[in-house]
Amino acid sequence: MTDHEDLVAAAADRLLAAAATGRPCAPVRDVLGTADIALAYAVQSRLGARRVAAGAAVTGRKIGLTSPAVQQQLGVDQPDFGVLFADMDVSGLATVPTSRLLQPKVEAEIAFVLGADLDVPDPDPAAVRAAVDHALPALEIVDSRIAGWDITLTDTIADNASSGLYVLGRTRLALTEFEPRDTTMRMYVNDILVSEGDGAACLDDPLNALLWLARTARAHGDPLRAGQVVLSGALGPMAAVRPGDTVRADISSLGTVRTTFTDRTTITDHTTATATDKDPA
C-alpha cells in the first residue's frame, strides 16, 4: 500500500470496529490530520464501498454542517455530505432500534426527493429547483462512532458525516406549493420543546444546500440521481435522545414527523421507526 492507502485503511478499520462492537472509538484525526478533506472523503468512500459490497443500496445523501454556528465551531466555511443507505431509512416501522445506535442525536430537516438527475458540470438554482419532485418533513438521527462526539471536520467526514438513521414524514409537497426558506420548525422530545428554527438556518435556504451538494457530488464523480433522497440539513439545533424518548417535529407547510426510540430492554430485532403527517400536537 501507499502511505495514503495505509492512512485510509487505518482510519476506516477504527470506525468499522466502533460500529461492529458498539463502542465509540478515539477520533481519527490522529491518522488523517484536521485539514485533508480529500483524505477524509476517501475513508468515507472506502466504508461505503464495503457496505455496497455487502449488499447495501444507496438511497441518497445527507448534507451536514449547514449551520454557520456549527461551521464556525469546527473552523470550516462549507458543508459536508454523507451517503444514505436503504437500511438507514426507518420510516415505515414501529420504533427506532436503539441497539443500532451509539450516541444518537436528532435534528429536523426538509428532505428532497429528486425527479431528475443532476449530472451537469455547474447546475444553477433553476436546474436544482426543477430537479426536485417533492419535499417531505424529516428527522435525521445523527450518530457518531467517535467517543463523546469529539469531532473535527475530518473526523465527521470520514464517519459518513456522522450519519445514523432517518425518518421521512408522509406529507409530500412540490416546490410550487411552498418555499423551503419560509418554513418554520419546532421539535419536541417527550412534548418538551428542544429546538426551533427556520429555512434560513440551513445555508440561508435548504435549496442552497441542495445546490452545493449537486455541484460537490458531481465533482466527486458520483452525481445525484433521480429517485434519490437528500436530507438538506438541520433547521435548528440538534438534540440528544435516549431510549424510550418520543420525538416530534412540526414543520410549517410540511406538517409533522415523529418517532419513538425503543427502550434498551425491548427486543429490537425487527423494530425501527414510524412517521406520521399532520398529527395533532
For the chain, 281 residues long, the average pLDDT of each consecutive 10-residue run is 86 96 96 94 97 97 88 80 97 89 96 96 94 98 96 95 97 97 97 96 96 95 97 94 96 96 56 34 28
DSSP letter (8 states) at residue 271:
-
Question: Would you say residue 275 lies in a domain?
Answer: no
Q: Is residue 266 part of a domain?
A: no
The answer to whether residue 89 is domain-embedded is: yes
* Pairing state between β 255-260 and 229-234: unpaired
The candidate with the shortest Cα–Cα distance to 275, out of 156, 119, 108, is: 108
Residue 8 phi/psi, 5-degree rounding, is -60, -45
In a domain, residue 29? The reply is: yes
CATH at 85: 3.90.850.10
pLDDT at 82: 98
pLDDT at position 73 is 66
Residue 84 lies in a domain: yes
Q: How far apart are CA 57 and CA 101, in angstroms?
A: 20
Is residue 181 situated within a structural domain?
Answer: yes
> CA-CA distance, 91 to 65, in Å (whole number)?
23
| pTM, to two decimals | 0.91
Q: How many domains does the chain have?
A: 1
Residue 234 three-state SS: strand
What pLDDT was estimated at residue 264? Answer: 61
Residue 193's pLDDT is 98
- Residue 18 CA neighbour count, 13 Å, CB half: 23
Q: Work out the number of other CB atoms within 10 angstroms of the CB of residue 192.
A: 8
Virtual torsion, Cα 29, 33, 39, 43, nearest 10 deg = -10
Structural domain contains residue 272: no
Range of the domain at 194: 3-260
- The backbone torsions φ and ψ at residue 186, rounded to the nearest 5 degrees and listed phi first, read -135, 130
pLDDT reported for residue 2? 67
Q: Which three cell numbers stand for residue 72?
A: 464556525
- Is residue 130 assigned to a domain? yes
